[in-house]
């Protein structure tokens, strides 16, 4: 190929490659963008798409908390503070304080493993940004409540039964990850 041949070839190459390149980019006009418009323009909330055992911000179901302090002892950075005493009249445990400092929490999940009822558990909530450290302390006990006392048979109280079954499912998931398929992925 002579000099003129390669000259013409260069022009041909330039035109052909630009033509094809424009076709590639034009094909993107008819595709859907991949952008996820978090947080306000989502088809579903991100929280609802997360797995059951996702380690988000901690939460306590006081209805099924036995006041055993297992979580407080398990916590490696002492971000859980529980006060519980025996009521001399009714001879039952009363929880007067259950604070979790989310600012300190490192989401290790060691507290929810020893919980006998699955009362303390991670939620799928992760948007915890706030303006002060104090407001990150979650105080679950508003007024002293009686600790939960496990029954011999299945739970009969219709108010507590669903919470307990959910908690048991949660700790079973820890015992055998993926063993029992949860009925619904969504967090209640």
Partner 1 sequence: METLINNLIASGLFGAKPSFDVVAAIVEFVAGAVVFLVVAMPFAGVVTWLERRVWARIQSRVGPNRVGPQGFLQWLADGLKNICKEDLIPAEADAPLFKLAPYLVMLAFILPWSVMPFSSSLILADLNVGVLFFTSVTALTVVGVLMAGWASNDKWSLIGGIRSAAQIVSYEIPAGLSIFPVVLMTGTLSMQGIIQAQGWAPQHWFVFANPFTFIAANVLFVSALAEGNRTPFDLPEAESELVAGFATEYSGMRYTFFFMAEWGNLFLIGALMTTLFLGGWRFPHVSDNVVVMNILELITFNVKVLAVVFVSMWIRGTLPRVRIDQLMTLCWKYLVPISFADMIGTAVWVAIWPDGNAFMGYLMFAGGLAVLAVFVRRVVYYVRRSRMELYFRPGI
Residues that bind partner 1 (CB under 8 A): 10-11, 18-31, 33-35, 37
CB of 44 to partner 1, least distance (A): 18
**Cα distances (Å, whole numbers) of residue 31 to 18, 22, 26, 35, 38:** 20, 15, 9, 12, 20
We find the least distance from the C-beta atom of residue 21 to partner 1, in angstroms, to be 5
Residue closer to partner 1, measured from CB, 4 or 131 = 4
d(CA 145, CA 131): 30
DSSP category for residue 104: T
Q: How far is the CB of 80 from partner 1 (least distance, A)?
A: 39
Is the CB of 40 or the CB of 183 nearer to partner 1?
Answer: 40
Helices (H), ranges, 31-160: 46-49, 70-74
* 6 versus 96: smaller Cβ distance to partner 1: 6
CA 60/CA 139 separation, integer angstroms? 10
DSSP annotation string for 117-142? SS-EEE-S------S-SGGGEEE--S
Among residues 183, 187, 160, 173, the alpha carbon closest in space to that of 56 is found at: 187
To partner 1, the closest distance from the beta carbon of 11 in angstroms equals 7
11 versus 77: smaller Cβ distance to partner 1 = 11
Rank residues 34 and 131 by Cβ distance to partner 1 and give the closer one.
34
Task: Choose between 28 and 159: whose C-beta lies nearer to partner 1.
Answer: 28
- Name the minimum Å distance from CB 43 to partner 1: 14
Sign (positive or negative) of CA dihedral 48, 54, 57, 59: positive
CB of 126 to partner 1, least distance (A): 22
Scanning the structure block, which residue is given the tokens 């980019």? Answer: 25
């Amino acid at each position: 190929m002579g000099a003129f041949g390669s000259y013409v070839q260069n022009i041909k190459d330039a035109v052909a490659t630009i033509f094809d390149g424009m076709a590639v980019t034009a094909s993107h006009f008819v595709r859907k963008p991949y952008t996820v418009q978090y947080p306000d323009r989502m088809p579903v909330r991100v929280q609802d798409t997360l797995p059951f055992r996702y380690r988000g911000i901690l939460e306590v179901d006081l209805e099924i908390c036995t006041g055993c302090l297992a979580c407080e002892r398990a916590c490696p950075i002492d971000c859980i503070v529980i006060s519980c005493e025996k009521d001399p009249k009714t001879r039952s445990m009363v929880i007067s304080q259950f604070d979790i400092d989310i600012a300190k929490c490192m989401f290790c999940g060691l507290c929810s493993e020893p919980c006998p009822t699955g009362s303390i558990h991670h939620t799928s909530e992760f948007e915890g940004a706030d303006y002060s450290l104090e407001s990150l302390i979650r105080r679950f006990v508003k007024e002293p409540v009686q600790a939960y006392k496990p029954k011999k048979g299945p739970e009969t109280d219709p108010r507590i039964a669903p919470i307990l079954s959910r908690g048991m499912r949660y700790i079973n998931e820890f015992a055998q990850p993926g063993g029992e398929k949860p009925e619904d992925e969504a967090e209640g």
